[in-house]
């Protein structure tokens, strides 16, 4: 179904607004809106999903990931540096006639147990975390784009349905006006049809404005501030449904939450290895010289000293820090298993709900709405011929309208269930993508993560 109206359709819509209305405010507003919409359709760019995705990716967070990777690289290099040596200068005997001793020593810790190497390895894992966060960001961004795309497309279909209903109510109003003039129906019946027509006008105007606002919010994501564009295609049923390729079994390869848990486990293991190496006594080599000047004859004696200093790890062996790391790893393993099991349940439940909605949607689209269209057409012809009353036509029209909007509600719900299913399959919380401020909140979290990255010797 296309929303680009032909010249004849536009003339019919515009003509339908201008007949038999007692409130010129709605007539003028809607006519101006339809006129401006028709004039701008040819000038509006047509954007495909790929075009929109490319625009948003260029605009959103272009350098943040490279900067985060640089921070992690600097951190790894910092943690791999040797400890600084210690220079000690001591002197005794400052008065004449006293024995004077000057001692100069230089001590350097020796990394016998590869503490620096293990610290650098633990820091390097943070670079893998940044890469995983980038993948997670791109996945969330893609789902947010799909959310906006589906919402705009469904809303465009709602506007199309309202245009159709507006045309139907206009036809009803014209026919009722002729019958009222001929004395076949009362003024009260004509007023009822006119009220219904005015309601359709108000709803159409409201939804067109809502569509414009939503398209403008979508355009903000790639740095524009207007809604003058058209989507290349409408959102029909999600691909998983039409292709029947829904996978309700989570895989750790694609599930980013599971991959994050695995990386956290590796980070905790690296931290435990670092603490274990750090708990061992790290010796320091001492090199120095001692000069002694005798008090009696001022004879100077100079000696070179070489030694080694070994700390005694009697009390603090990082034993509790290592136990904390082990406990965290056990908790991660338990959470990983729980999450895998819960994800399978949630995905199956979502797919079952989506299947019910799909059955309802197809029943409405393929059976009820076509049948109601035929009934309404026959009722209208019968009303013109005097066989049916105004209430019969209104009932048929309102029933058709109700079923059309029910089908669109089902379509919107199917898309939301589909996006929730995609999110769960990737290990993403659906609540973080199904709102219009999702990308702004996601960007804020990225900047916060950048500021919270470990630096130096942390």
Q: Which pLDDT tens digit goes with each residue over 162-189?
A: 999 999 999 999 999 998 998 888 999 9
Question: Is residue 23's pLDDT more than 90?
Answer: no
In a domain, 301, yes or no: no
Question: Is residue 128's pLDDT more than 60?
Answer: yes
pLDDT digits (tens, 9 = 90+) for 68-91: 999 999 999 999 999 999 999 999
- Average pLDDT (38-62) is 79
Structural domains of the chain, count = 1
- Report the range out of 24-38, 270-284, 444-458 with the highest average pLDDT: 270-284
Count CA atoms within 13 Å of residue 230 on its CB side. 15
pLDDT digits (tens, 9 = 90+) for 291-322: 998 877 778 889 999 999 999 888 888 899 99
In a domain, 302, yes or no: no
In a domain, 138, yes or no: yes
CATH number for position 414:
1.20.1600
Q: Which domain holds residue 425?
A: 7-83+131-253+340-451
pLDDT at 234: 67
For 312-336, b/e burial (b = at least 16 CB within 10 A) is eeeeeebeebbeebeebbeebeeeb
Question: Is residue 26's pLDDT more than 50?
Answer: no
In a domain, 402, yes or no: yes
In a domain, 90, yes or no: no
Distance CA 91, CA 103 (A): 6
In a domain, 324, yes or no: no
Strands 100-109 and 86-92: antiparallel
Residue 386: pLDDT band by 50, 70, 90 thresholds? confident
pLDDT digits (tens, 9 = 90+) for 139-159: 999 999 999 999 999 999 999
Mean pLDDT of all residues in the chain? Answer: 85
Distance CA 178, CA 192 (A): 15
Alpha-carbon dihedral 198, 201, 203, 205, rounded to 10 degrees? -140
pLDDT at 28: 52
In a domain, 432, yes or no: yes
pTM of the complete model: 0.80
In a domain, 2, yes or no: no
Q: What angle do CA 182, 186, 192 make, to 5 degrees?
A: 120
pLDDT at 448: 86
């Amino acid at each position: 179904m296309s929303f680009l109206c032909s010249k004849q359709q536009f003339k019919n819509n515009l003509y339908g607004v201008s007949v038999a209305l007692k409130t010129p405010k709605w007539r003028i507003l809607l006519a101006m809106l339809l006129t401006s919409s028709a004039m701008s359709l040819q000038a509006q760019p047509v954007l495909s999903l790929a075009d929109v995705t490319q625009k948003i990716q260029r605009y959103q967070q272009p350098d943040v990931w490279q900067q985060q990777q640089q921070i992690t690289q600097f951190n790894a290099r910092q943690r791999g540096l040797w400890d600084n040596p210690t220079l000690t200068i001591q002197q005794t005997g400052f008065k004449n006639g006293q024995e004077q001793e000057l001692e100069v020593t230089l001590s350097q810790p020796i990394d016998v147990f590869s503490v620096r190497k293990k610290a650098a390895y633990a820091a390097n894992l943070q670079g893998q975390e940044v890469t995983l966060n980038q993948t997670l960001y791109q996945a969330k961004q893609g789902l947010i784009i799909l959310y906006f795309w589906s919402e705009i497309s469904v809303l465009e279909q709602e506007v199309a349905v309202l245009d159709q209903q507006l045309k139907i109510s206009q036809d009803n109003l014209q026919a009722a006006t002729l019958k009222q003039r001929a004395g076949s129906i009362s003024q009260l019946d004509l007023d009822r049809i006119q009220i219904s027509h005015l309601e359709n006008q108000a709803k159409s105007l409201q939804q067109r404005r809502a569509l414009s606002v939503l398209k403008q919010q979508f355009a903000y994501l790639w740095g524009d501030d207007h809604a003058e564009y058209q989507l290349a295609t409408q959102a029909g049923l999600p691909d998983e449904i039409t292709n029947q390729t829904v996978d309700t079994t989570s895989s750790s390869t694609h599930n980013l939450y599971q991959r994050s848990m695995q990386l956290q486990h590796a980070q905790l293991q690296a931290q435990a290895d670092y603490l274990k190496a750090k708990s061992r006594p790290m010796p320091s080599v001492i090199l120095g010289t001692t000069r002694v000047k005798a008090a009696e004859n001022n004879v100077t004696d100079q000696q070179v000293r070489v030694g080694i200093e070994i700390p005694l790890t009697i009390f603090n062996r990082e034993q509790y820090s290592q136990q904390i790391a082990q406990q965290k790893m056990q908790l991660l393993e338990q959470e990983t298993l729980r999450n895998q099991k819960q994800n399978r349940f949630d995905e199956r439940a979502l797919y079952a709900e989506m299947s019910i909605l799909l059955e309802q949607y197809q029943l409405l689209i393929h059976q009820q709405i076509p049948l109601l269209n035929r009934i309404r057409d026959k009722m209208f012809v019968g009303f013109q011929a005097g066989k049916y009353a105004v209430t019969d036509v209104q009932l048929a029209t309102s029933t058709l309208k109700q079923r059309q909007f029910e089908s669109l509600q089902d379509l919107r719900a199917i898309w939301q269930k589909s996006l929730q299913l995609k999110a769960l399959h990737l290990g993403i919380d659906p609540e973080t993508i199904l709102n219009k401020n999702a990308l702004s909140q996601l960007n804020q979290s990225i900047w916060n993560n950048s500021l919270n990255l470990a630096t130096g010797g942390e």
